[in-house]
Amino acid sequence: MKCEKCEELVGELLDGTLSGEDTSTLNMHLEQCLDCSDVRNDLQSIVSFCQTQRGQYSAPPNEKALWLRIRNIIESESQALVGSVGQTRPRSKSLWADWMSRSWELSIPQLAASVAAIVLIASLATTVGLRRWEGSVGSVSSSSASPAPGVTGAKHRDRMWRQQQSISYWNQRVETNKARWNQEMRDTFDRNLQVIDQAVTDSLNELNQHPEDEVSEEMLNAALNEKLALLREFSDL
């Protein structure tokens, strides 16, 4: 007899349902095979224990906690299964409902801080929006005040807006100090600013006619930088 066949029949042997011939053959194998004999002994001891205890087993420690853990595991597995199927809508709905139904308890300082934060964010957003709008329709040259209607690229507008802000700042500083200059210096400054403004206007017109022309874009940028440099360098006179 082979060991596999022995393992199949050992249960019946212990139950006493095996035929006489098979019983003698099996016993012969068990006498010769130590492993199968151990299996028989183990099984025999389990059966004997069950027969003596008769279903009265000692309870595990903290039985309620054990059942709670088992229930949680089962629920989490079932939720994961539902989520994987793709039922996300009811879940988001429940979150929204949960958010809306949640009660908020705020102290007066917390409430005041929240209101102040909302007002601050709203005013900042309004200011930024207004400046962007003014920048898009504003002039490029502070003195010539020529608009930039054809320059459509947001990148151009954004850069020009930033340059325009700097130019306005330095222009104010120049105007403040200009009274101290002699007439010759004032004439020189005005003459040079006019020349640069002409370069800005030329390159801007060219860019309006050929929006994709990178040379005109470079020239416009260089002219604006040139204007900025002139204002900055004369502002400390």
Partner 1 sequence: MHTRSLLARLTFSRAHLLSVLAVFALLAPFSGLTYAQKHLSKRYPAGKRVRVELKNISGTIIVESWNRDEVKVSATMESPTANFSPRLVDDGLVIDVMGDNRGRGDVGDVNFKIQVPVNSSVDLETKRGDIRVANIRGGLVRAHVSSEGDIELTGISASQVFAQNTIGNIFFDGEFSRGGTYQFQSTKGDISIRIPSDSAFRLVAAAPTKRIELGQFWNSNFKTVGEGQKYGKFVGDVGDGRSSVMVTNFQGSITFIRR
229 binds partner 1 (CB under 8 A): yes
Nearer residue to partner 1 within complex by CB, 6 or 204: 204
Binders in 197-216 for partner 1, by CB under 8 A? 198-199, 202-203, 205-207, 209-210, 212-216
Nearer residue to partner 1 within complex by CB, 65 or 195: 195
Residues contacting 177, CB < 8 A, separation 6+: 234, 235, 236, 237
Min. distance of Cβ 195 from partner 1 in angstroms? Answer: 5
When binding is defined by CB under 8 A, the residue of 6, 167, 196, 224 that contacts partner 1 is 196
152 binds partner 1 (CB under 8 A): no
Min. distance of Cβ 108 from partner 1 in angstroms? Answer: 55
Tokens of 205: 């017109």
181 binds partner 1 (CB under 8 A): yes
80 binds partner 1 (CB under 8 A): no
Q: Which stretch binds partner 1 (CB under 8 A): 77-85, 118-126, 155-163, 176-184?
A: 176-184
Partners of 139 in the beta sheet? 147
Min. distance of Cβ 223 from partner 1 in angstroms? Answer: 6
Q: What is the 3-state secondary structure (H, E, C) of the chain?
A: CCHHHHHHHHHHHHHCCCCHHHHHHHHHHHHHCHHHHHHHHHHHHHHHHHHHHCCCCCCCCCHHHHHHHHHHHHHHHHHHHHHHHCCCHHHHHHHHHHHHHCCCCCCHHHHHHHHHHHHHHHHHHHHHHHHHHHHHHCECCCCCCCECCCCCCHHHHHHHHHHHHHHHHHHHHHHHHHHHCCHHHHHHHHHHHHHHHHHHHHHHHHHHHCCCCHHHHHHHHHHHHHHHHHHHHHHCC
113 binds partner 1 (CB under 8 A): no
Min. distance of Cβ 120 from partner 1 in angstroms? Answer: 41
When binding is defined by CB under 8 A, the residue of 138, 189, 224, 228 that contacts partner 1 is 189
Contacts with partner 1, residue ranges (CB under 8 A)? 180-182, 185, 188-189, 191-192, 195-196, 198-199, 202-203, 205-207, 209-210, 212-216, 218-219, 222-223, 226, 229-230, 233-234, 236-237
